[in-house]
Structure formats: structure tokens, C-alpha cells
């Protein structure tokens, strides 16, 4: 079974430029998460989707970040414009559903460097 797929794996951009990350969850997983991981820190949730609906986006900086999940499968996270402080690893995860029985499975992440 294929795991969570993310692309690109690495991205270097100049500040004020836009950037987008793509995630394909494990087949059949209805719940999708985007996390931000700074160096030496644990991941922090940005947004959670149940199918195509964003049900928890309280941690997403909506002035510059946006996300979508088309048809309840793939998802895209966008930053426009990027700032130096956005340099981090962006992780996508998925689970069969939301709630306590379900493990979250993570992709390899996209490492963003903003110069």
C-alpha cells in the first residue's frame, strides 16, 4: 500500500514569492492534515480536512496561507506571499477518519527555504 505522497520534497524561493505544496493521502483515508514543523520542534497542526471540508483551520494564518482539497482526495497548501519565517518543513498526514481509534500516517514532508 502506498503511503502519503508529497511534492515537491524541497523548495527554495525568494521572499514575497508564492509557493504551493501538494499532498496525496493514503487511498481511502477521509481525513487529511497539514502540519508545520520548525527545526527542533514537534509538528503543529495548520488545518484538518474531513473529505473536502476544512473542519479545523484555526491555526492557519489566513492572511497568507490557503488550502484546498479537491474532491476529497488530493490537497494543496499555498503561501502567498512567502516570508522568511515560513522556512520550515510542511508535513501532510492522513487517517481513515477522525477520532481516537485512528492513527495518523505522515508523508515525507516538503522542506521550504525562503531567502
Partner 1 sequence: KQEVTQIPAALSVPEGENLVLNCSFTDSAIYNLQWFRQDPGKGLTSLLLIQSSQREQTSGRLNASLDKSSGRSTLYIAASQPGDSATYLCAANYTGANSKLTFGKGITLSVRP
Are the CB atoms for 88 and 34 separated by under 8 Å? Answer: no
- Cα–Cα distance between 21 and 9 in angstroms, integer? 9
Shortest CB 83 distance to partner 1, Å: 23
Closest CB to partner 1 among 50 and 74? 50
Q: Cell numbers 477522525 correspond to what residue?
A: 98
93 within 8 A of 104, measured Cβ to Cβ: yes
- Of 75 and 95, nearer to partner 1 (C-beta) is 95
Smaller CB distance to partner 1: residue 64 or 111? 111
By C-beta, is 81 or 106 nearer to partner 1? 106
CB of residue 16 to partner 1, shortest distance in Å: 27
CA dist 1 and 26 (Å) reads 8
In the complex, the smallest distance separating the C-beta of residue 81 from partner 1, rounded to whole angstroms, is 26
3-state secondary structure of 53: strand
Q: In the complex, which residues of this chain contact partner 1 (CB under 8 A)?
A: 4, 6, 31, 33, 40-45, 48, 55-56, 91, 93, 95, 98-109, 111
Amino acid at each position: 500500500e502506498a503511503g502519503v505522497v508529497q511534492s515537491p520534497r524541497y523548495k527554495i524561493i525568494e521572499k514575497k514569492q508564492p509557493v504551493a505544496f501538494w499532498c496525496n493521502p493514503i487511498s481511502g483515508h477521509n481525513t487529511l492534515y497539514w502540519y508545520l514543523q520548525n527545526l527542533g520542534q514537534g509538528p503543529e497542526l495548520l488545518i484538518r480536512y474531513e473529505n473536502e471540508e476544512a473542519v479545523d483551520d484555526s491555526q492557519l494564518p489566513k492572511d497568507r496561507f490557503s488550502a484546498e482539497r479537491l474532491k476529497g482526495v488530493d490537497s494543496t497548501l499555498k503561501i502567498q506571499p512567502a516570508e522568511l519565517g515560513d522556512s520550515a518543513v510542511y508535513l501532510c498526514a492522513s487517517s481513515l477518519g477522525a477520532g481516537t481509534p485512528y492513527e495518523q500516517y505522515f508523508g515525507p514532508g516538503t522542506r521550504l527555504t525562503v531567502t
